[in-house]
Structure 1
Amino acid sequence: MLFRLRGRAALLAAVLACPTMTAPVMAADCAPAYGNKCYTQPHATQPYCPPGTPSAPPVEPPMAPGDKPMDDPMRDPMTDQPQAQQQQPQAQQPQQQQPQLAQPTFTPSAPTTAASSPQSVSPNMIGDFFGTGGGTISIPQMSRDFTGPILSGGSPAMFTALTPSGSYVGSPASPVFVTQTVPGPISVIGDAVGTIPTGSFWTAAGPVPSGFGPFATFTSDFLLNENPDETAATAAAFPNSAAVVFNGAQAFFVSNTGTVTPIISGVPFEGNGNFAVGTSYTIIDSFAQTLYVPAPASTNGGNVGRQKIGENTNPIPRDRVFMNYSLFDGARLAQGGVNVHRFTPGIEKTFFDGLASLEVRVPFAATANSNFVAGGPIDDNNVEFGSLTFYLKTLLHQTSNVAVGAGLGIAVPTYDDSTVSIFNPATNSLQRLVDIEAESVHLMPYIGAVLTPTERFFAQAFLQFDVDTNGNTVRTLNPMTGRLANTGTIQDSTYLFMDLAVGYWVHLNPESDSFVRGLAPVAELHWNRTLDSQDFVAGNGYVVGNPQQGRIETWNAVVGVNALLHDDATVTVGYGVPIAGGDDQFNGELRIIFNWLFGGAGSDPQRRVF
């Protein structure tokens, strides 16, 4: 009994003699150390036995050959087995586990390696492109004629013929005057649109016909020169016309309506009737001309613009809702430019464990009206919808500092048709000249990459194509029928987009409780180019699209700043300008972007910060 107590006391003293560490460590983290009776952590500088950790069995020195084991007070001499095994079953040794390493966190003061810098610190690209603009439509001269007598109360107005004093011998010499005695209206297509003042007169355009003399009855009509007062009244009746052209006038003798009473050498002119005046004018509503009108071709998005993958998007799929605002200063939708305010709300949702996502954009804008009136002002504050756009994204490859993704965009034509009209005073309404129907579906495949070599530095790039699959139908006015007729299909040019963005987090602490957790300036370069010349359609005297327009090329530069906010949100502000290419589509653009993460994106560090 005494030997047992002494042995246990010695073991207890050995355990207490081992130094300990303040940080608790599981027994699985310990390893046996020779030379003492306790465990040590593999990476600890001093051996220790954490609280609750059973001590290791004593290590006996090796026996020489032929030696017998010494008497052990803890062993039963009868069975040669430890007495503890006879009194109670041996305690099961705890199963060892791999040590649990601390997860790295992003703090501005602590440096990190590329291996601990996931693409989560790469924000979305800001973007640059408007992607559409105005163009040319050539229209033929639009005109209409009217010929008929001047009416008064539905009947021809009566005029008095006045001749110069002198005697008639045969046919008197010109001039002969036909003077209006009462105000007479001008009638065009049955509508009274102007009035000739009293006292207006016409003069004979040539010699007075025979039979116009003493004791003779007037039997023939004769031509008259232009009456300036009537032409002015006609032009005033068509204020929106391009021109009013006088074609001619003629005096008609209307018998049994009264007596023509000019006095010639004291002898009254013998006749039984009065005169009416018939006139002919051509109203030119529009000369043959080429108009610069908004969105004349099969553009993707109409007057709202295109939706590139490089606008507020990252190659990595993410769960988010967002709102993009863009102000395009001087967008080339009309002569002199138009300011366009575009809004693009949308949502992106991941699936397949975050390896893919579906993004939906619903753009609309305060922009130029897609219904253009020739010769009228530009309505540049009309609300228009753009193309409903879907992007299917997938993650192809990912390491700790590189990610590669690809996908396909589909733009559905939810924007308005483009039309060109002129005002028709005869019907007091607009006459449609050209109609470009919104029908084309665009496919936009892309590939993109993200690079984060350090915690702070990030870069990403996109390569994308935009292909019109079917074009838009063009209808023009047929002058023979007065109706719109199918003229052809106009195809949008195929675009190539290349986008590059680089940035650096000057402040980054995603785990802090402050409202602003990160700030990163960014610079972007965008190259946009068509791979073919602009298409055009010709027919019925119209040319929709410019046959002389070659390929379009633009270079745009964008600078901005990304702010990482509390509650998984970001705000991005950027400004872009064209720098080369010669086919600028705006003077400058301001972009403000908001993103908010939801769902599983907040728990995945690869997709939590963007």
Structure 2
Amino acid sequence: MARQIVFRLLAAAVLFSAGDSFLLGQDDLPEACCDAPLCDGVGCDGLDECCDAMLESTPRRCLSLQDRLPSMIGDFFAGPQTRAVGDYRLDRVFVFADDLDAPGTLPPGGSTLTISESGPVGIYASSLASVQQAQAIFRASGTLPAASLAGTIAGNATLTTADTISQIQAQLASTAQAYDIVLLQPPPGTYDTGVHAAFQSRNALTGTTVFDASASGAMLQGGTDSMNGGEDLDAYYFYDYLIRFDTALPSAANGGVGSMKIAEGGSVLPQDRVFFNYSFFDDVVASNASSGLNRFTPGFEKTFLGGQASVELRIPFATDAVSDLTATSTAVSNGSSAELGNIMLYVKGLLYGTDTYALTGGVGFGFSTADDIAVDLADGTPLLRVENDAVQIQPFLGWLYMPSQKWFAQGFTQFSFATDENDVWTNSGQGLQAAGSFDDPDYFFFDVALGCWAYRNDDAACLSGIIPTVEVHHTNSLGDDASIVTAGNIQVGNWGGTTSLTSAVVGTTFEFKQQGQLTAGYAVPLTSSDRQYDGAFRMQYTRLLR
């Protein structure tokens, strides 16, 4: 009986002090009391039992206003910006213009030499890769490898030397061996057209025809080592059929799902909760095109050590992430699919706490569960792979400032460090081969939010609070991002410079029965450089477990 009298007196004192304040309930309740409806007239043996009886929830622990503050909303960070530049050879042929007769009387020594004879001219496929290889075979008294006719050019057989006649004569006289290579100017455009038609007839994929000047040239027939007029020359023009690309790649650090940080749906204080986050990111940069990204993140947080610490697990996945790309002769196209991101694990503890201030610290781990980045040709031939190998270590500090029962500010300071490099595999015509690895940059994140209880009614049967917030988020790389792998004609990696992103977020949280929280917000980037998205709609439902 005495205990019930004490509770009634306490309830009456609180009601008297609350008056007709808009913030209904317990604006001036002592810290020991709960933020639940008052216990007047309820027969129970303790504050927790009182809360359970009044809120008809069993069991349900009373929480302070600090514990009821909403999680931060967060912006979007796509991760390190990776590029791939290079080409892949689909086919190689050469045009063989043979038996081109130099005139009996050569032009003046300061002139180049042009020879043109009636065609057609043959296009050949062979293992012969260059005029330099042909020179080595002839000097060793060998025989050129077999060649098959791949097509013909209806125009004349022709050559025009790059050097003057005097320069060619000096070159021939300066070497003891025969079969010196005479440099040539590019052949006429009709050669390009004819070779391109031959490539198209030989290949299912469409590529780009490119003349290889460094592998082309002419030699005097029969080992002749001087040019005075009347000599025969054989001209070799080599062509490649290439898939060329210069494209941004989705970040290998997260498989195109996006990197996560503690401020995306994270709470400063340790909590017992389950949550589900949905985000739509507009115009996310992936490859040379941008597209929308729908990401879903279920998770939970569980306290231990008497509520002084917690462990949190997040499992992000996207229904339209870009991790597989297709390279064609004109572009690299995105192929979106459902993808699992990097599973995140956070451990945090309360370092200091009062009615007004709170400081927490912890560390996050981003496990490399997201898919590797793959670029293939249209026929499925693998072109390159960038593996997601690095576990991310993310130490952080969280802080909370609540000067009154209405206003609050909270935020995080966080770093992200990669523990390993991402392996790169490239295909130069012999299948995927290990090409090296490159580092993910390290990052610094600063996130701050300001909010208030615009409405609070602890006696409400449904909606017990409305909490608008505004947030600012900043991401900056630590040092230069440059880290590039070069393998043959392909380069993959981070092309350098620093990353600096700033975003703003506005949102509102609706609290239901002091236990459920529905948060909706929208994020926009404030910087034009390093921009990774145009806007982000974010929604999260959190169920506090009492």
Smaller-chain TM-score bracket: 0.5 to 0.7
For the residue of structure 2 that corresponds to 1:381, the secondary structure is: strand
Contact 1:115/1:400 (CA < 8 Å) preserved in 2?
no
Q: Which residue of 1 aligns with 2:132?
A: none
Q: Which residue of 2 aligns with 1:562?
A: 509
Task: Write out aligned runs for 1:377-388 (5 A).
Answer: 377-379=332-334, 381-388=336-343
Contact 2:255/2:322 (CA < 8 Å) preserved in 1?
no
Aligned match of 1:234 in 188, 198, 208? 198
Task: Write out aligned runs for 1:128-139 (5 A).
Answer: 128-132=75-79, 134-139=81-86
Contact 1:529/1:554 (CA < 8 Å) preserved in 2?
yes
For the residue of structure 2 that corresponds to 1:304, the secondary structure is: coil
Aligned match of 1:337 in 290, 294, 300? 290
Aligned residue type for 2:206: N
Task: Write out aligned runs for 1:143-542 (5 A).
Answer: 144-146=91-93, 231=195, 233-237=197-201, 238=203, 240-243=206-209, 282-287=239-244, 290-295=246-251, 298-299=252-253, 301-375=254-328, 376-379=331-334, 381-423=336-378, 428-432=379-383, 434-478=384-428, 482-513=430-461, 515-541=462-488, 542=490
CA shift at 1:552, angstroms?
Answer: 0.8
Q: Which residue of 1 aligns with 2:10?
A: 101
Aligned residue type for 1:448: G
1:438-486 superposed Cα distances (whole Å, 9 cap, x missing partner): 111111111111222222212111111111111212223356xx24333
Task: Write out aligned runs for 1:589-604 (5 A).
Answer: 589-598=536-545, 601=546
- Partners in 2 of 1:28 and 1:319 — Cα distance? 30
- Partners in 1 of 2:193 and 2:396 — Cα distance? 68
Aligned residue type for 1:363: P
For the residue of structure 1 that corresponds to 2:256, the secondary structure is: helix
CA shift at 1:563, angstroms?
Answer: 0.2
- Partners in 1 of 2:157 and 2:423 — Cα distance? 54
Contact 1:369/1:381 (CA < 8 Å) preserved in 2?
yes
Contact 1:443/1:468 (CA < 8 Å) preserved in 2?
yes
- Partners in 2 of 1:179 and 1:577 — Cα distance? 61
- Partners in 2 of 1:567 and 1:99 — Cα distance? 23
- Partners in 2 of 1:235 and 1:498 — Cα distance? 54
Aligned residue type for 1:505: W
Contact 2:80/2:440 (CA < 8 Å) preserved in 1?
no
Q: Which residue of 1 aligns with 2:520?
A: 573
Aligned match of 2:534 in 587, 593, 606? 587
User: Whose strand proportion is higher, 1 or 2?
Assistant: 2
- Partners in 2 of 1:579 and 1:444 — Cα distance? 24
* Cα pair distance change 1:177/1:470, threshold 3 Å: closer
For the residue of structure 1 that corresponds to 2:481, the secondary structure is: coil
Comparing 234-243 with 411-420, greater Cα deviation is found at 234-243
CA shift at 1:490, angstroms?
Answer: 1.4
CA shift at 1:531, angstroms?
Answer: 0.9
- Partners in 1 of 2:29 and 2:531 — Cα distance? 40
Contact 2:25/2:459 (CA < 8 Å) preserved in 1?
no
Contact 2:424/2:485 (CA < 8 Å) preserved in 1?
no
* Cα pair distance change 1:322/1:281, threshold 3 Å: same
For the residue of structure 1 that corresponds to 2:198, the secondary structure is: helix
- Partners in 2 of 1:139 and 1:349 — Cα distance? 49
Contact 1:134/1:334 (CA < 8 Å) preserved in 2?
no
CA shift at 1:140, angstroms?
Answer: 4.9
* Cα pair distance change 1:563/1:28, threshold 3 Å: closer
Task: Write out aligned runs for 1:64-79 (5 A).
Answer: none
Aligned residue type for 2:476: R
- Taking only aligned residues, the RMSD between alpha carbons, in angstroms, comes to 3.9
- Partners in 2 of 1:363 and 1:530 — Cα distance? 23
- Partners in 2 of 1:186 and 1:114 — Cα distance? 92
Aligned residue type for 1:595: T
Contact 1:461/1:501 (CA < 8 Å) preserved in 2?
yes
Aligned residue type for 2:433: A
CA shift at 1:280, angstroms?
Answer: 7.8
How many pairs align?
420
Q: Mind listing any 5+ residue stretches in structure 1 that lack a counterpart?
A: 1-24, 30-96, 150-173, 207-223, 249-278, 602-610
- Partners in 1 of 2:381 and 2:117 — Cα distance? 44
- Partners in 2 of 1:292 and 1:579 — Cα distance? 22
CA shift at 1:489, angstroms?
Answer: 2.5
* Cα pair distance change 1:406/1:179, threshold 3 Å: closer
CA shift at 1:186, angstroms?
Answer: 9.7
- Partners in 2 of 1:367 and 1:360 — Cα distance? 22
The TM-score with structure 1 as length reference comes to 0.60
- Partners in 2 of 1:576 and 1:27 — Cα distance? 51
CA shift at 1:422, angstroms?
Answer: 3.5
Contact 1:331/1:339 (CA < 8 Å) preserved in 2?
yes
For the residue of structure 2 that corresponds to 1:369, the secondary structure is: strand
The TM-score with structure 2 as length reference comes to 0.67
Aligned residue type for 2:410: Q
* Cα pair distance change 1:504/1:136, threshold 3 Å: same
For the residue of structure 1 that corresponds to 2:248, the secondary structure is: strand
Aligned residue type for 2:208: A
* Cα pair distance change 1:409/1:177, threshold 3 Å: closer
Aligned residue type for 2:302: K
Aligned residue type for 2:463: V
Contact 1:310/1:462 (CA < 8 Å) preserved in 2?
yes
- Partners in 2 of 1:28 and 1:421 — Cα distance? 75
CA shift at 1:141, angstroms?
Answer: 6.1
1:205-255 superposed Cα distances (whole Å, 9 cap, x missing partner): 59xxxxxxxxxxxxxxxxx9968985464254345201265989xxxxxxx
CA shift at 1:370, angstroms?
Answer: 1.5
1:333-356 superposed Cα distances (whole Å, 9 cap, x missing partner): 233422111111111112222122
For the residue of structure 1 that corresponds to 2:293, the secondary structure is: strand
* Cα pair distance change 1:402/1:431, threshold 3 Å: closer
1:567-600 superposed Cα distances (whole Å, 9 cap, x missing partner): 72111010111113732221111101111123xx
* Cα pair distance change 1:587/1:461, threshold 3 Å: same
Contact 2:287/2:334 (CA < 8 Å) preserved in 1?
no
- Partners in 1 of 2:301 and 2:409 — Cα distance? 21
Are 1:119 and 2:66 matched, yes or no? yes
- Partners in 1 of 2:7 and 2:408 — Cα distance? 34
Q: Which residue of 2 aligns with 1:550?
A: 497
Contact 2:437/2:485 (CA < 8 Å) preserved in 1?
no
Structure (1 or 2) with the larger CA radius of gyration = 1
For the residue of structure 2 that corresponds to 1:545, the secondary structure is: strand
CA shift at 1:121, angstroms?
Answer: 3.8
Percent of paired sites with the same residue = 28
1:509-532 superposed Cα distances (whole Å, 9 cap, x missing partner): 13321x221111100111111112
- Partners in 2 of 1:545 and 1:567 — Cα distance? 48
Contact 1:133/1:332 (CA < 8 Å) preserved in 2?
no
* Cα pair distance change 1:568/1:203, threshold 3 Å: same
